[in-house]
């Protein structure tokens, strides 16, 4: 098993493939984690010493602290929540979180674009991402309210049948061959 961990700076957070919605900015950037899961092959003649290693899977996770500025943006992340609005005061809103079990998590594209960058060369894309359990809310008195979120990449298939998890760099570059 191999793990690569990379940190990145403050980024705009865009959610959705068809019509990306800007959900704000990461507080201090975040972490990109790439894990390669391997199995060693051994033989009776080599004992416990491997003579070949096979890749059996890969995991990509992005961890960020998002600045919350509207309850609607939070609802985009908590996909099985329901927005409730006070009929007497439309500014008074809440999110009800369902008890649901056995449902597949809603997945969509996650794009992190460095704040102030004029090009997409440092973008991070999870083609199909889900929010992992354990969203943590942090509120600082007289400061912003942030929520810590982890996203896991799922296998996605592009228009020509290539399977993919993530991309570091411009998402609009058309892949050649695998």
178 within a domain of the structure (yes/no): no
177 within a domain of the structure (yes/no): no
CB count, 10 Å around CB of 133? 7
Tokens 């973008």 belong to which residue?
123
Which long-range contacts link 78-81 to residues 24+ away (Cβ below 8 Å)?
78/131, 78/135, 79/105, 79/106, 79/131, 80/106
75 within a domain of the structure (yes/no): yes
Tokens 């411009």 belong to which residue?
170
8 within a domain of the structure (yes/no): yes
115 within a domain of the structure (yes/no): yes
Phi, psi for 43 (deg, rounded to 5): -135, 165
CB count, 10 Å around CB of 116? 8
91 within a domain of the structure (yes/no): no
Q: Are 124 and 107 in contact (CB under 8 A)?
A: no
pLDDT per residue rounded down to tens, the chain (178 residues): 567 889 999 999 888 888 888 888 887 889 999 999 999 999 988 888 999 999 999 999 999 888 766 677 777 776 677 888 999 998 888 888 777 666 777 789 999 999 999 999 999 999 999 888 767 766 665 666 777 889 999 999 887 788 899 999 998 887 765 5
Q: Are 32 and 11 in contact (CB under 8 A)?
A: no
156 within a domain of the structure (yes/no): yes
Tokens 């809603």 belong to which residue?
106
Q: What is the DSSP string of 69-111?
A: --HHHHHHHSTTEEEEEETTEEEEEEEEE----SPPPP-EEEE
- Its domain, for residue 46, covers 2-85+98-168
**Tally of structural domains, the chain:** 1
Predicted pLDDT at 32: 95
111 within a domain of the structure (yes/no): yes
Predicted pLDDT at 142: 61
């Amino acid at each position: 098993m191999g793990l690569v961990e990379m940190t990145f700076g403050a980024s705009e957070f865009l959610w959705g493939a068809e019509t990306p919605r800007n959900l704000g900015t990461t507080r201090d950037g975040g972490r990109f984690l790439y894990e390669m899961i391997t199995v060693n092959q051994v033989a009776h003649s080599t004992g416990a010493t491997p003579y070949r290693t096979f890749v059996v899977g890969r995991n990509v996770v992005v961890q960020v602290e998002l600045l919350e500025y509207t309850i609607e943006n939070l609802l985009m992340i908590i996909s099985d929540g329901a927005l409730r609005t006070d009929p007497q005061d439309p500014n008074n809103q809440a999110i009800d979180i369902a008890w649901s079990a056995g449902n597949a998590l809603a997945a969509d594209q996650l794009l992190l674009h460095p704040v102030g960058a004029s090009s997409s060369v440092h973008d991070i894309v999870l083609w199909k991402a889900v929010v992992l359990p354990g969203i943590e809310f942090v509120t600082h008195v007289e400061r912003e309210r942030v929520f810590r979120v982890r996203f896991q990449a799922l296998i996605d298939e592009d228009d020509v049948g290539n399977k993919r998890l993530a991309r570091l760099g411009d998402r609009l570059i058309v892949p050649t061959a695998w």
